[in-house]
């Protein structure tokens, strides 16, 4: 099997799964229970929070454990908007955010908030100038993804953060789900108030995530309950998942530097190979993009057809974001970039991981070339 859909999810590390099982068996007590078993679970939860904070370079009080990227984005966006609504009701985001962010903003619009959706250029990048023009005195929240999940474009997070340093009444949220450990982002140095990461994107268990909440930043909780996670996220903590995720977090960051070099080499190999296939149009920008994503259209071949053809070789890629892949129609991200609709309907996303080998890329390119020729003959 050749798995090239790592932007949708990654295969969990065996060590992370081992940790999950061990904690499930030996630390099953509720961390909120007063008895000794509950105390042991609480202590393990505290150690996991300290380790996660240390790995991310933040304070342990700034770590909120969540169920993943969707919850993290919703808590950050809705929680901040509701917490600061007396300051103003203007919000800024982009037209190419993940569905969990875009739909959160659409809900807020129904509650009376005004949202500016920044456009992107042909590479999928927002203009800092457009951001400055959109910013207002009553802007209370700016939410921008670091790395686009479909094409890999990196957004100008540092520039926006620098600007917002001098505008302390605005909260800055970054969806770092796709960028984590592939495009480094130092939270303490980037003027970010809220940051979302998801465990299953870096070989941790599904249903786990972290929302970084800068000290002093306010959130209106989405869940009513027992007040876990410092009153910000009620619900009994998923201790086995948290521990498995933190194990994956440590393992991934230990491999980050060499891993990024490896992913970059694989991406260059992919680009070179794709350029040899007739009718291939690469949408991922050559510069200013993450090293693990390549989005490409094959002229005259619908993406779904190509995805299923590659399955015959036990090769797995995707069409667009996994959360939107079953929706009919072309990618909204590619359309926002100005890609013609017919071309956008022909796009596939290839996404690699640290474990992906050059030999797997060669095998993929070979199979893609064969299927492209065969499908064009059939459709021609």
Average pLDDT over the chain reads 96
Q: What is the pLDDT of residue 375?
A: 86
Q: 211, 230, 254 — which closes off a domain?
A: 254
Residues 308 and 268 both lie in one domain:
yes
Domain hosting 312: range is 2-9+256-379
pLDDT at 227: 94
- pLDDT exceeds 60 at position 282: yes
Percent of the chain with pLDDT over 90: 95
- What pLDDT does 190 receive? 87
Q: Contact at 8 Å (CB) between 365 and 270?
A: yes
Local structure of residue 144 (DSSP, 8 states): E
Q: Could you read off the pLDDT of 244-259 as tens digits, one per residue?
A: 999 999 999 999 999 9
Q: Say if residue 66's pLDDT is above 70.
A: yes
> Based on the domain organization, do 45 and 162 belong to the same domain?
yes
373: CATH:
3.90.1150.10
Q: 51, 53, 222, 323: which one is catalytic?
A: 323
Same domain, 250 and 260: no
272 with 191, same domain: the answer is no
Structure tokens at 261: 């070099």
Give the domain-ending residue among 206, 228, 254. Answer: 254
pLDDT of residue 320: 75
pLDDT band for position 60 (cuts 50, 70, 90): very high
Q: Which tokens is 97 given? A: 């955010």
Residue-level pLDDT at 318:
97
Q: Are residues 295 and 341 in the same domain?
A: yes
Q: How far is 276 from 158, CA to CA, in rounded Å? A: 36
Predicted local confidence at residue 327, as pLDDT? 60
pLDDT band at 329 (very low <50, low <70, confident <90, very high): confident
Domain match, 244 and 301 both: no
d(CA 39, CA 270): 51
Give the pLDDT confidence score for residue 323 in this predicted structure.
Answer: 58
**pLDDT tens digits along 9-38:** 999 999 999 999 999 999 999 999 999 999
Do 174 and 302 belong together in one domain? no
What average pLDDT does the segment 156-179 reach?
97
Taking residues 359-370, what's their average pLDDT? 98
Residue whose entry in the numeric block shows the structure tokens 């521990």 = 243
* pLDDT higher than 70, residue 62: yes
Comparing CA positions, the residue from 95, 81, 193 lying closest to residue 139 is: 81
pLDDT of residue 376: 80
Distance CA 281, CA 162 (A): 35
Question: For the chain, what is the domain count?
Answer: 2
290-303 confidence digits (pLDDT tens): 999 999 999 999 99
Cβ-based neighbours of 52, under 8 Å, separated by 6 or more:
60, 63, 210, 246, 249
- Which residues, 6 or more positions from 300, have their beta carbon under 8 angstroms from its beta carbon? 279, 346, 375, 376, 379, 380
Residues 147 and 282 grouped into a single domain: no
54 and 190 co-located in one domain: yes
**Does residue 195 have an active-site annotation?**
no
Q: pLDDT band at 43, cuts 50/70/90?
A: very high
Q: Residue 32's domain is classified under what CATH number?
A: 3.40.640.10
**304 and 250 in one domain?**
no
Task: Note whether 117 and 144 are same-domain residues.
Answer: yes
pLDDT confidence band for 379 (50 / 70 / 90): low
pLDDT of residue 322: 54
pLDDT digits (tens, 9 = 90+) for 193-208: 999 999 999 999 999 9
Does 164 have pLDDT greater than 90? yes
Report, as an integer, the average pLDDT of 40-69.
98
pLDDT computed for residue 156 by the predictor: 97
The reported pLDDT for the residue numbered 321 is 57
Output the pLDDT for position 83: 98
Q: What tens digit of pLDDT does each residue of 68-107 get?
A: 999 999 999 999 999 999 999 999 999 999 999 999 999 9
Residue 141 pLDDT grade (very low, low, confident, very high; cuts 50, 70, 90): very high
Q: What is the pLDDT of residue 109?
A: 98
Domain boundary among 224, 254, 284: 254
Q: Are residues 186 and 285 in the same domain?
A: no
pLDDT reported for residue 357: 98
Place of tokens 């892949």: 325
Give the per-residue pLDDT at 324: 52
């Amino acid at each position: 099997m050749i798995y090239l859909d790592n932007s949708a999810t990654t295969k969990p590390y065996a060590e992370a799964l081992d940790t999950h099982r061990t904690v499930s068996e030996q630390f099953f007590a509720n961390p909120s229970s007063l008895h000794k078993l509950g105390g042991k679970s609480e202590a393990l939860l505290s150690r996991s929070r300290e380790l996660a904070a240390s790995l991310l370079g933040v304070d342990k009080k700034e770590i909120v454990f969540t169920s993943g990227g969707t919850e993290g984005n919703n808590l950050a966006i809705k929680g901040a908007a509701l917490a600061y609504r007396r300051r103003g009701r203007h919000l800024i985001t982009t037209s190419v955010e993940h569905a969990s962010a875009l739909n959160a903003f659409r809900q807020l619009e129904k509650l009376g908030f005004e949202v500016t959706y920044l456009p992107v250029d042909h590479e999928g990048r927002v203009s800092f100038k457009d951001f400055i023009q959109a910013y207002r005195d009553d802007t209370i929240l700016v939410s921008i993804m670091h790395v686009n999940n479909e094409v890999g474009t990196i957004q100008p997070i540092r520039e926006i953060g620098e600007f917002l340093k001098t505008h302390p009444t605005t909260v800055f949220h970054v969806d770092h789900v796709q960028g984590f450990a592939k495009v480094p982002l130092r939270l303490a140095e980037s003027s970010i108030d809220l940051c979302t990461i998801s465990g299953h994107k870096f070989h941790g268990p599904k249903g786990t995530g972290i929302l970084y909440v800068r000290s002093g930043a306010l959130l209106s909780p989405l869940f009513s309950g027992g007040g876990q996670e410092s009153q910000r996220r009620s619900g009994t903590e998923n201790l086995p998942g948290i521990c498995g995720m933190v194990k994956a977090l440590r393992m991934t960051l230990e491999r980050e530097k060499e891993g990024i070099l490896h992913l970059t080499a694989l991406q260059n190999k992919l680009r070179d190979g794709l350029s040899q296939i007739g009718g291939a149009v690469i949408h991922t920008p050559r510069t200013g993009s993450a090293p693990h994503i390549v989005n490409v259209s094959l002229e005259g071949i619908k993406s779904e057809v190509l995805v299923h053809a590659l399955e015959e070789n036990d090769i797995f890629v995707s069409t667009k974001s996994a959360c939107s892949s079953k929706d009919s129609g072309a990618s909204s991200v590619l359309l926002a970039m100005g890609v013609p609709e017919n071309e956008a309907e022909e796009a596939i996303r290839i996404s690699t991981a640290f474990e992906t080998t050059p030999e797997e890329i060669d095998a993929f390119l070979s199979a893609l070339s064969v299927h492209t020729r065969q499908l064009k003959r059939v459709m021609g």
